[in-house]
Amino acid sequence: MNTMTENSTVGYVTDDGRQIGGTIMEMKNITLRFGGVVAIENISFDIHEGEIRAIIGPNGAGKSSMLNVISGFYHPQEGEVWFNGQKRPSMKPFEVAALGIARTFQNIALFKGMSTLDNIMTGRLTKMKAGMLSQAIWWGKAAREEEEHRQKVEEIIDFLEIQAIRKTPVGRLPYGLQKRVELGRALAAEPKLLLLDEPMAGMNVEEKEDMSRFILDVNDEFGTTIALIEHDMGVVMDISDRVVVMDYGKKIGDGTPAEVLANKEVIDAYLGVSHD
Amino acid sequence: MCRTARGSNIMSAEFYYGVEVFLNGLMAGVMYSLVALGFVLIFKASGIFNYAQGVMALFAALTLVGFQNGQIPFASLINAIFGTNLHSFGWHLPALLAILLAVLVMILFAILVERLVLKHLVNQEPIILFMATIGLAYFMEGFGDLMWGSEIKKLDIGIPQGGNGWVESHTAFLGGDDFYGFYLDSLDIVAAIVAVALVASLVLFSQYTKTGRALRAVADDHQAALSVGISLRTIWVIVWSIAGFVALVAGIMWGAKSGVQFSLSLIALKALPVLMLGGFTSIPGAIVGGLIIGVGEKMFEFLIGAPYLGGATENWFAYVLALLFLVFRPQGLFGEKIIERV
């Protein structure tokens, strides 16, 4: 990063010896309200380049809302979002995508009538330069560009081991595979930051293990920064470098998995506490 | 075909007349398809049933004729306010230039519709959007009248009309002495060629271009489309522009046939049964549906209607056929099958 500002901090080294970079994204005092309901209350945290950052918390804690703030689907009433050392103005989701932030959804949002290949190809849209008119006029050039993107998409298909379903309309695929295609589409954008909303929700143990492996591989091989929301505590603690814990819209913990697990407030939120 | 049938008198003139009716049915069907196509484009991309599609065709045709004849827009309004007596710029634009200008107007129209109407109705129920297009239809109808006047206009951009002599003389050998060859209207033939070219380019566009892929993506899932960086508003402008262009083509063909006047907007009614057959979301469906209706109503009239039912069955045949389809195959011929997971 060359646009270091006072917000950027230096990186750190993880327990398993990976070098993590400086801050790529910083949420500052975010407050999000829906009418009288406060979904997120004055939360700040940062995401470092190259790390796997998890946001956890019980149902209704505001995790998905936070992800939607990052990806531009929701706009907080208060607070600032900093990305790549710059304050991000209020943006629409498609503009956020163009910045290099890709995401998946809790309830898979794929193009069900389109094939796996086409779905992942749409992930390349932000990378395609040729406009509509030039595509019509310079057919050859556009075709060459298409070829290059296709190449990249095939690499992702190989990486995710979904060659067998390249031409299958995704609506016909089982749930676990759909989740994988959605991950593929997000990867196709070669994102700087990848947001995963409950990537393992509704999966069996085997599918969860596969997905964990893919997430770790993405982080490892492409160096992609990942922010994820997950319910499964075991998985989260296994794969993430640092964890934000939310409860009732507030941040109650932030740190490495070990630190968070030792935090009394976190234990209370998850196991319940007697109010006397 | 057995050899003896070729060029002989074995087939009666009656048979060839039937073939002619069939061919004319295909041509009429193409004209229906042209209108249905506009509906499908918008419905696919935004789930809106655009009631104004027929009026768009009328408006596009009015604009084309207006430009061509050098009419001054809003002339009667200006005259009424300022007491002037303006009518025409006094020039006559070449057809191609007038078409180009009409296309630009339809693009401008698409942008305005997005800015002034659709933008404010994002995430509303489909019925609300439908109501908005009804309002749009009546507004455009009045606006078109005000801008270009309400008298019946002749649309002539140089498309040949009347029986096609070439087809007639080259098919005359098929029948006997009492058969003079197929009578096909040149305009219908041109319309068919244009429609085929239009559909082919639309399909190529949606399958092989970046924007086409974005269109399909939006048609499939709005939220997912946003997340991969597609601007819905841009896509809507593009879709309405294309629908406007299709409306212009339909307006030209129908306008050349029967003059540019209010009743041109009623061609939309003929597109409804086509949509029910072809499904609201399928471009090939709109074409095949149109052909089935065109051929169906002509053949029904020829074989059953005229001899046994006293004729004029063309007025209702399409709707009855559509009704049967609704009962037995509600998703149409090519529409996606509706499967509800429980």
pLDDT digits (tens, 9 = 90+) for A82-126: 999 899 999 999 999 999 999 999 888 999 888 999 999 999 888
- The confidence score (pLDDT) of residue A7 equals 44
Instruction: Please indicate, yes or no, if residue B65 is contained in any of the structural domains.
Output: yes
How do A242-247 and A37-48 pair as beta strands? unpaired
* Best to test chain A binding among B222, B228, B245 (most A CBs inside 10 Å): B228
Would the CB atoms of A113 and B336 count as touching at under 8 Å? Answer: yes
Would the CB atoms of A122 and B213 count as touching at under 8 Å? Answer: yes
pLDDT at A218 over 60: yes
Partners of residue B289 on adjacent β-strands:
none
pLDDT digits (tens, 9 = 90+) for A93-102: 999 999 999 9
More confident residue, B320 or A145: B320
Q: Of the given ranges (A258-267, B115-124, B177-186, B189-198), which has the lowest mean pLDDT?
A: B177-186
Contacts of residues B202-205 at CB distance under 8 Å and 24 or more positions apart, as own/partner, are: B202/B37, B202/B41, B202/B242, B202/B283, B203/B283, B203/B284
pLDDT at A5 over 70: no
pTM summary value: 0.80
Q: Is B337 on the interface with A (CB under 8 A)?
A: no
Mean pLDDT of B164-183: 75
pLDDT at A4 over 60: no
Would the CB atoms of B220 and A94 count as touching at under 8 Å? Answer: no
Mean pLDDT of B257-278: 86
To the nearest whole Å, the CA of A73 is away from the closest chain B CA by: 9
Mean pLDDT estimate for chain B:
85
Q: In what order do the strands lie in the sheet with A242-247?
A: A101-103, A193-197, A225-229, A52-56, A242-247, A250-255
Mean pLDDT of A155-166: 93
Percentage with pLDDT > 90 across chain B = 29
B44: domain CATH number?
A: 1.10.3470
Q: Which residues form the domain of B142?
A: 14-328
Q: In whole angstroms, what separates CA B267 from the centre of its chain?
A: 8
Q: In whole angstroms, what separates CA B39 from the centre of its chain?
A: 9
Range A149-184 burial, b when 16+ CB lie within 10 A, else e: beebbeebbebbebeebeeebbeebeebbbbbbbbb
Instruction: Please indicate, yes or no, if residue B220 is contained in any of the structural domains.
Output: yes
To the nearest whole Å, the CA of B336 is away from the closest chain A CA by: 9
- The confidence score (pLDDT) of residue A203 equals 87
pLDDT at A165 over 70: yes
Angle formed at CA A36 by CA A31 and CA A39, multiple of 5 degrees = 40
pLDDT digits (tens, 9 = 90+) for A227-249: 999 877 888 888 999 999 999 99
Give yes or no for a contact between B87 and B173, defined as CB atoms under 8 angstroms apart. Answer: no
pLDDT at B342 over 50: yes
Instruction: Please indicate, yes or no, if residue B2 is contained in any of the structural domains.
Output: no
Contacts of B318 (CB under 8 A, 6+ apart): B270, B273, B274, B293, B296, B297
| Residue B326 confidence class, pLDDT cut points 50, 70, 90 | confident
Instruction: Please indicate, yes or no, if residue B126 is contained in any of the structural domains.
Output: yes
Number of residues in chain B = 342
- The confidence score (pLDDT) of residue A135 equals 63
Would the CB atoms of B228 and A71 count as touching at under 8 Å? Answer: no
Instruction: Please indicate, yes or no, if residue B3 is contained in any of the structural domains.
Output: no
Percentage with pLDDT > 70 across chain B = 93
The label of the residue with tokens 């009239």 reads B301
Mean pLDDT of B299-315: 87
Structure tokens belonging to residue B191? 């319309």
Structure tokens belonging to residue A49? 């380049």
Instruction: Please indicate, yes or no, if residue B7 is contained in any of the structural domains.
Output: no
- Number of domains chain B contains: 1
To the nearest whole Å, the CA of B216 is away from the closest chain A CA by: 8
pLDDT at B292 over 90: yes
Instruction: Please indicate, yes or no, if residue B6 is contained in any of the structural domains.
Output: no
- The confidence score (pLDDT) of residue B58 equals 94
- The confidence score (pLDDT) of residue A137 equals 65
To the nearest whole Å, the CA of B218 is away from the closest chain A CA by: 8
- The confidence score (pLDDT) of residue A130 equals 59
**Residue A250 DSSP symbol:** E
Give yes or no for a contact between A3 and A82, defined as CB atoms under 8 angstroms apart. Answer: no
Helix (H) or strand (E) holding B12: none
- The confidence score (pLDDT) of residue B132 equals 94
pLDDT digits (tens, 9 = 90+) for B4-42: 444 445 567 778 888 889 998 998 898 889 889 889 988
Q: Cα dihedral sign for B238, B272, B253, B59? A: negative
pLDDT at B200 over 60: yes
* Best to test chain A binding among B218, B227, B233 (most A CBs inside 10 Å): B227
Give yes or no for a contact between B232 and B225, defined as CB atoms under 8 angstroms apart. Answer: yes
Q: Is A162 on the interface with B (CB under 8 A)?
A: no
pLDDT at A37 over 70: yes
Mean pLDDT estimate for chain A:
87
Contacts of B47 (CB under 8 A, 6+ apart): B126, B129
Partners of residue A196 on adjacent β-strands:
A228
- The confidence score (pLDDT) of residue A3 equals 41
To the nearest whole Å, the CA of B89 is away from the closest chain A CA by: 33
What are the chain B neighbours of A113 within 8 Å (beta carbons)?
216, 220, 336
pLDDT at A28 over 80: yes
Range from A3-17, B61-75, B208-222 that averages highest in pLDDT: B61-75
The label of the residue with tokens 């061609």 reads B267
- The confidence score (pLDDT) of residue B4 equals 44
pLDDT at A273 over 90: no
> CA–CA separation, B132 vs B128, rounded Å?
6
Q: How far is CA B325 from each of CA A16, B151, B320, rounded to the nearest angstrom?
A: 65, 39, 9
What domains does chain A contain, in order, with CATH numbers? 12-100+191-271 (3.40.50.300)
Maximum CA extent, chain A:
74
Instruction: Please indicate, yes or no, if residue B23 is contained in any of the structural domains.
Output: yes
- The confidence score (pLDDT) of residue B168 equals 79
Mean pLDDT of B89-100: 88
Nearest to A125 among B210, B221, B223 (CB): B210
Helix (H) or strand (E) holding A194: strand A193-197
